[in-house]
Amino acid sequence: MDKQVNSLDSELRNRAKKVVPGGMWGHMNAAALPEGYPQFFARGSGSRLWDVDGNEFVDFMCSWGPIILGHHHPEVDEAAQKQLARGDCLNGPSESMVELAELLVEMLPHATWAQFQKNGSDAMTTAATISRAGTGRRKILVASGAYHGAVPWCSPSLLGVTAEDRAHIVQYEYNDVESLNRAADQARGDLAGIIASAFKHDYGRDQCLPTREFAKAARAAADAADAALIVDDVRAGFRLNLGGSWEAVGVRPDLSAWSKSIANGFALAAVTGNERFRDATSKLFTTGSFWCSAVSMAAAVATLTALRRDNAIEHMERLGGMLRDGLGSLSKTHGLPIRQTGPVQMPMVLFEDDPDNRKGFAFCSATVKRGIYFHPLHNMFLSAAHTTNDIERALDAAEHGFRAVRDSLTNSAGVSRN
């Protein structure tokens, strides 16, 4: 598929530049992506996405995680529309809040309560605050390089952030028990919480599942200090295990943060927790103008119900496995080694020997032109709407992607010789 030259996308980018600083903020700025990626989208359906110029893509980013059942899932949309007809933003929550909290408590073995917000940053900030409120202490352990949101206490950018904003954050290395224990020691007497992502899914790095040893050590360090173990399940939540991502390693957190896929694209986040932190949570003043919107809660009930009923995780694992196997054999055929890490339903694909990401960018630039929306540096996402045919189309495009990488290497070798 060739992109149109005088596209609505480029016209909108030009207009946006005048009225939106930088044209677009944050991680969804298409300027950070390889050539050929659109900035503006018109619609989505199932596993497909259309940009404003009518180009169709098989979507392997799933809106950066939220779309877990597929775009415009009919049951989720119906539940949302029914609620919208009754009311969304009222003077308090609707019945759907209680229904959703009950469903989460039923699904998540670690939790006896739930509280709702809008974004993952809200949920993580709330969880950290609950840990401090519940312990009366200040220090929070955070793995270096981990993303927990775009607010001063944890933003990956230091622009506009003061040292005071980070004063009580102590870093450790994910999956490194010794460094975790060292950090806990450093916070001794003042430890409020230990934050760990569901797995290590740092931008542009190989992904890594938590080892049992690490998860148990995090639980033990929190217990020893009577502090909170907080699992950030914002990104991985409901894609790995419907009971919470750390069920796989047999460790239950005190607090978990959720967002992204909880309502299949409707804006919602949650903190779930156990009895130890119920009282502190009930006393904490926390709120937001839209935190009780009923539509997203009705959508979440429909999403979680469908995920459970349809064995969606199994489906995503099967298709993610097909994609991983297919990319693995293409990489061998082309003699271009790649590293595929993390759970297959949240794939990270990085080229070996690619310090400036040139290979990854050449690959994705070629595949996006063939209607496959991959990401060169961020983990990707499968959804329950992906089909075998989507994976075959993706692998077909990947064949061209590997050839493009080869060509780019030949060309740059030619350039450097001249």
Residue 19, judged by CB atoms within 10 A of its CB (0-12, 13-18, 19+), counts as: exposed
Beta bridge partners of residue 341, listed in sequence order: 348
Pattern 74-113, ligand PMP, x by CB under 6 A: ----------------------------------------
383 lies in the site for ligand PMP, by CB under 6 A:
no
Of 123 and 404, which CB lies nearer to ligand PMP in the complex structure? Answer: 123
Residue 342's SS3 state is: coil
Q: Which stretch binds ligand PMP (CB under 6 A): 7-15, 145-153, 217-225, 307-315?
A: 145-153
Confirm or reject binding of residue 9 to ligand PMP (CB under 6 A). Answer: no
Pick 147 or 402: Cβ nearer ligand PMP: 147
By the rule CB under 6 A, 303 interacts with ligand PMP: no
Tell whether residue 345 is a contact of ligand PMP (CB under 6 A).
no
Comparison of 236 and 336: residue with beta carbon closer to ligand PMP: 236
Dihedral of CA 86/89/91/94: which sign? positive
- How many CB atoms within 10 Å of residue 386? 27
Q: Pattern 247-286, binding to ligand PMP, x per CB under 6 A?
A: ------------x---------------------------
Candidates 124, 230, 301, 364: give the one binding ligand PMP (CB under 6 A): 124
Cα–Cα distance for residue pair 360/362, rounded to 1 Å: 6
120 lines the binding site for ligand PMP (CB under 6 A) = yes
Q: Does 149 bind ligand PMP (CB under 6 A)?
A: yes
Query: Can you tell me which of 121, 135, 256, 261 binds ligand PMP, judged by CB under 6 A?
Result: 121
Give yes or no for residue 13 binding ligand PMP (CB under 6 A).
no
Q: How many CB atoms lie within 10 A of CB 303?
A: 29
Residue span binding ligand PMP (CB under 6 A) among the ranges 45-53, 118-126, 162-170, 299-307: 118-126
d(CA 341, CA 268): 28
State the nearest-atom distance from the C-beta of 145 to ligand PMP, in Å: 12
User: Strand ranges (DSSP E) for 23-118?
Assistant: 41-45, 48-51, 56-59, 113-117
Residue 119 binds ligand PMP (CB under 6 A):
yes
> What are the two backbone dihedrals, phi and then psi, of residue 169, each rounded to the nearest 5 degrees?
-100, 125
Distance CA 85, CA 37 (A): 36
CA atoms within 13 A on the CB side of 105: 13
> Closer to ligand PMP at the Cβ: 330 or 348?
348
In the complex, the smallest distance separating the C-beta of residue 25 from ligand PMP, rounded to whole angstroms, is 12
The residues near 332 (Cβ < 8 Å, ≥ 6 apart) are: none
CB of 40 to ligand PMP, least distance (A): 20
Residue 269 bridge partners (DSSP): 117
> In this structure, are residues 198 and 346 in contact, taking their beta carbons and an 8 Å threshold?
no
* 286 in Cβ contact with 257 (< 8 Å): no
Per rule CB under 6 A, is residue 232 in the interface with ligand PMP?
A: yes
340 binds ligand PMP (CB under 6 A): no
The residues pairing with 57 across neighbouring beta strands, listed in sequence order, are 49
Q: Could you tell me the smallest distance in angstroms from the CB atom of residue 234 to ligand PMP? A: 4
Do the beta carbons of residue 115 and residue 271 sit within 8 Å? yes
What span, in angstroms and rounded, lies between the C-alpha atoms of 398 and 336?
A: 12
DSSP 30: G
**197 forms part of the interface with ligand PMP (CB under 6 A):** yes
- Closest approach, Cβ 296 to ligand PMP, in A, equals 13
We find the least distance from the C-beta atom of residue 240 to ligand PMP, in angstroms, to be 13
Residues near ligand PMP, by CB under 6 A: 119-121, 124, 147-149, 197, 232, 234-235, 259
